[in-house]
């Protein structure tokens, strides 16, 4: 089913609104790294995905439906995850926006590179995977009070048996361990959080 121009524009507004709020909350304009040129590398990634997302997704959906991808993603400690979906749609739209800026296209003017069929295909793939993947309505965490629940109720029930009470010193050590692992993954992936993903919260019943 092809998306209409109105639907495409609505999704662009949803994604851009969420991305703008995220960037401003983290003050990304001030982001600097002694190890990596993060802004320039991000721009390069946008360009790559802007060029390749459509043919890649056409080939992918020839062998598996978006809903099946979303269903298979609903598990612990696995890739792809929602960060992968965020990278897909944000990089695609950011790459498009960079081309708009480079060509000097003004608000309201047509963008000569736009192909509604291709844009609609990418957007529809993304939203179909998201709806199958998330356990709540909405496409982005900020639409549901910054929550990201992906595990079905049976998965939550199976985890309850692993929950134990811990004393404050143990809790501190666990937090330190988690922070160390997160920092390691952060550096390992070139100071990009493509290796980090958190989801929840979940109701454990007590």
- Over residues 168-187, the pLDDT tens digits come to 999 999 999 988 888 877 77
Rounded to whole angstroms, the Cα distance separating 151 from 133 reads 9
Judged on CB neighbours under 10 Å (0-12, 13-18, 19+), 104 is exposed
> Does residue 171 belong to any structural domain of this protein?
no
Q: What does pLDDT average to over the chain? A: 86
- Quick one: average pLDDT of 23-34? 67
Domain residues for the domain of 120 are 5-147
Rounded to whole angstroms, the Cα distance separating 1 from 72 reads 23
- Quick one: average pLDDT of 92-119? 93
Burial string for 125-134 (b: 16+ CB within 10 Å, else e) reads bbbbbbebbb
Structurally, the chain folds into a number of domains equal to: 1
> Does residue 135 belong to any structural domain of this protein?
yes
pTM of the model: 0.83
> Does residue 124 belong to any structural domain of this protein?
yes
DSSP designation for 76: S
> Does residue 152 belong to any structural domain of this protein?
no
> Does residue 198 belong to any structural domain of this protein?
no
pLDDT of residue 206: 66
Whether the predicted pLDDT of 32 surpasses 90: no
pLDDT of residue 139: 84
pLDDT of residue 93: 94
Whether the predicted pLDDT of 193 surpasses 70: no
> Does residue 38 belong to any structural domain of this protein?
yes
> Does residue 95 belong to any structural domain of this protein?
yes
Integer CA distances (angstroms), 6 to 17, 20, 92, 114, in order: 16, 21, 18, 14
Rounded to whole angstroms, the Cα distance separating 149 from 161 reads 19
> Does residue 27 belong to any structural domain of this protein?
yes
């Amino acid at each position: 089913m092809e998306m209409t121009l109105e639907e495409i524009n609505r999704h662009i507004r949803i994604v851009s609104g969420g991305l703008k709020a995220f960037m401003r909350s983290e003050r990304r304009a001030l982001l600097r790294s002694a190890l990596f040129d993060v802004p320039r590398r991000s721009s390069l990634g946008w360009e790559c995905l802007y060029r390749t997302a459509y043919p890649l997704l056409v080939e992918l959906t020839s062998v598996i439906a978006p809903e099946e991808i979303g269903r298979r993603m609903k598990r612990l400690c696995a890739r792809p995850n929602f960060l992968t979906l965020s990278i897909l749609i944000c990089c695609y739209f950011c790459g498009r926006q960079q081309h708009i800026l480079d060509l000097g296209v003004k608000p309201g003017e047509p963008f000569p590179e736009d192909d509604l069929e291709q844009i609609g295909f990418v957007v529809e793939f993304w939203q179909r995977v998201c709806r199958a993947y998330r356990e709540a309505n909405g496409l982005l965490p900020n639409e549901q009070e910054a929550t990201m629940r992906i595990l079905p109720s049976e998965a939550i029930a199976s985890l309850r048996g692993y929950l134990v009470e811990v004393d404050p010193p143990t809790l501190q050590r666990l937090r330190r361990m988690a922070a160390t692992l997160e920092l390691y993954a952060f550096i390992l992936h070139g100071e990009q959080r493509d290796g980090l993903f958190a989801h929840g919260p979940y109701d454990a019943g007590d």
